[in-house]
Amino acid sequence: MFRSFVMALILTLFTLSTSQAADTGWLTTPDNSHAQVRATAQKFPTGDVKVLLEVQLESGWKTYWRSPGEGGVAPEINWSQDVSTMIWHWPSPSAFDVAGIHTQGYDKQVIFPIELSPVHADRLIGVLTLSTCSNVCILTDYTLDLDLTEPVPADFEWQYNQAMAKIPVGTGLISSVSSGYNNSQLTISLQKEQGAWVKPNIYLDPPEGMLYGIPKLKHQDKNLFVTVDVTDDWGDAAGNISGKVLSFVITDQDFSRQVNDIIGHGKEETAPPSNSGIGLWGILAFALLGGLILNLMPCVLPVLAMKMGSILHLENRDKGVIRKQFSISVLGILVSFWALALFMTGLRYSQEALGWGIQFQSPWFIGFMVLVTAIFTANLFGLFELRLSSNMNTKMATAGGQGYSRHFWEGAFATLLATPCSAPFLGTAVAYALIAPLNELWLIFTALGIGMSLPWILVAIFPSIAKALPKPGKWMNRLRVVLGFMMLLSSIWLITLLIPHLGMPIVAGIFVIIGLLLLFAIAKHYGKKVLLISTAVAFLLGGSTYLFVEQPASQTLAGQDTINWQPLSEEAIHQALAENKRVFVDVTADWCVTCKANKYNVLLREEIQTALSAPDIVALRGDWTKPSDKITQFLKQRGQVAVPFNQVYGPCHKDGVVLPPILNKDSTLTVLSEAKGAQ
């Protein structure tokens, strides 16, 4: 008590002449040139305060985690005010082993989110005690003086959410944990939810008065075994710690999980229902089914229809020619899925985000797809034909010609258009693949390719299916226009995906340029009469597209969105559950066709709108249109790599229930009702 009084008095005298701000700026001291700290804070009307504490360290220097290990000191803040609650959030640390001394902490940079409540004053003053070590250790005090009436930096909320995204969560990653203690040695057994362990690490909080040695880890497939020597503070044999709290953070690649248990107890956890206990063979079956269903998605249908339409141009529908054409298209699909597997392998080694369809987060890739679909559209409208020499190994041969490379690229193009679609079974297979060993990843992507190829394989095996199509005639020209129109709609949709990246004016310019080029080609090829009709259709499509993308977010062609959507965060989920509320999570993206289908077919239905507007429901939405570390981490912690992703929490579903990728109104309402429980 006396120490706190003296500290408060000193701080008060010291800060009489100190400027106040919601941001301390970077603080340094003459005694320690190897570190600098910065604090920013925001106060809410409830008296709660959020603080971001940033620490920058010179190369070769480190500071410590909440359980620093042998010889370390964890950072600490003593506030001059009475703060009844301080929640200090700790990012996953790293291990430092020097000369047999095991410590846990951070190097280079670390950001700590801190929550305080209640803070009645408008000025927040405290002293941060920070230990920094290299060959020597320095204990430094920094005075934090924050005027809570001053505005916070413009990006404070974003920075705080980014910092919270790096905090280990309390669910996911493992499906079971058990522990035991014997002869001064702690043993922990963990089983992973999905796939095999790749590069696990564990960071332990020892019980009061105890020290943990360097953990020894062994893993095989889904099983991880940890052994740790235990001593008391003096290095002597430890007493019996069975029944004490077991607290640790377990990490594997980009996943991190906080585990709280009792030493000597076993605990089975509920894994996501779509992934629990399936095994590799089950996942391969899911991959086959998911790939097959992709053919029915609106992304792929135009290409499959175009492929079947190409048969009509064969004068003598020779079975051998049909078999060869479709076999080459199958090869194009398989090679494309292998290219995706190679792409995912590269991302894994570069520690970048992994996910199904994430290439659509790149404006360059979308622009490439716009160009390709525009070329296909013009070709289907008969505006030009590509007739390149075989010596150039052209990607597309002439329509109706004898080259086969075109059929390969049709299969590859179908695969590219399939990636923004998330079909049933697909998400489970891809989620397993992206955290599985590389040989399993490649095997699963091969199964996806085979699944998507099945209709094409069927025609290759039984060419009589294609031969059963009607004989060539004038109707073929009308069919070609219909296929061209379908491809044009795909191109328009892709153009709208550039709006979040380039802005509406630039995208509108691209839209007009492509439209004028098509109209010019139509005028040159078909004459004025067709040009007038095409111009009218162009204005109709352009106007409809503009109204669609420019309408208010709460208004859609399918109805009014009256749901009060809030930004997605782990914190919001925890707060809602603490208040005994239900939570509906919707992670979506503009490029996700399945997301749009869920929105118009289910989420905008009157019954769903009413249910999600109930006072005890918090609706959270995350937008994955552009890269977002926060949303990527959110999905990864739940074993997901694709959108749409919907989950329901509540008093009876505290661990969350994951909904299927294609929503159903009745089942969604049922899960929402079950989450509420008895009132």
Q: How are strands ordered across the β-sheet holding 653-658? A: 566-567, 617-623, 582-588, 645-650, 653-658
Share of the chain above pLDDT 70, in %: 75
Give the contacts of 468 (CB within 8 A, at least 6 positions apart): none
State both tokens at 471.
Answer: 């004989």
Mean pLDDT of 245-249: 88
Phi/psi of residue 231, each to 5°?
Answer: -135, 175
State both tokens at 133.
Answer: 């070590």
Give 19's pLDDT tier (boundaries 50, 70, 90): very low
Question: Which CATH number applies to 174-268: 1.10.10, 1.10.3470, 2.60.40, 1.10.3120?
Answer: 2.60.40
Q: How far apart are CA 231 and CA 238, in angstroms?
A: 5
Q: How far apart are CA 258 and CA 254, in angstroms?
A: 14
Q: For 569-584, write each residue's pLDDT tens digit.
A: 888 888 888 888 999 9
* Residue 82: how many other CB atoms lie within 10 Å: 11
Per-residue pLDDT at 419 exceeds 80: no
Range(s) within the chain of domains with CATH label 3.40.30.10: 559-676
Strands 94-98, 101-107: pairing kind: antiparallel
Q: Which amino acid is at 228?
A: V
Cα 15 from chain centroid (whole Å): 44
Per-residue pLDDT at 8 exceeds 50: no
Mean pLDDT of 203-207: 88
Question: Which CATH number applies to 2-155: 2.70.170.10, 2.40.50.100, 1.10.10.60, 2.60.40.1250?
Answer: 2.60.40.1250
Give 54's pLDDT tier (boundaries 50, 70, 90): very high
The residue with greater pLDDT, 361 or 515, is: 515
Question: Which CATH number applies to 559-676: 3.40.50.2300, 2.40.128.130, 3.40.50.1480, 3.40.30.10?
Answer: 3.40.30.10
What is the model's pLDDT at position 36?
Answer: 93
Q: How far apart are CA 196 and CA 189, in angstroms?
A: 14
Strands 109-117, 223-232: pairing kind: unpaired
Provide the greatest CA pair distance for the chain: 100
**How does 36-55 read in b/e, with b if 16+ C-beta sit within 10 Å?**
bbbbbbbbeeeeebbbbbbb
* Residue 666: how many other CB atoms lie within 10 Å: 9
Give 17's pLDDT tier (boundaries 50, 70, 90): very low
Task: Flag whether the pTM goes above 0.75.
Answer: no
Range(s) within the chain of domains with CATH label 2.60.40.1250: 2-155
Q: How far apart are CA 311 and CA 313, in angstroms?
A: 5
HEC readout, 492-520: HHHHHCCHHHHCHHHHHHHHHHHHHHHHH
Q: How far apart are CA 536 and CA 539, in angstroms?
A: 5
HEC readout, 607-668: HHHHHHCCCCEEEEEEECCCCCHHHHHHHHHCCCCCCCEEEEEECCEEEEEECCCCCCHHHH
Q: Are 437 and 345 in contact (CB under 8 A)?
A: no
Mean pLDDT of 488-514: 81
Q: Are 427 and 658 in contact (CB under 8 A)?
A: no
Q: How buried is 123 (Cβ within 10 angstroms: 0-12 exposed, 13-18 middle, 19+ buried)?
A: middle
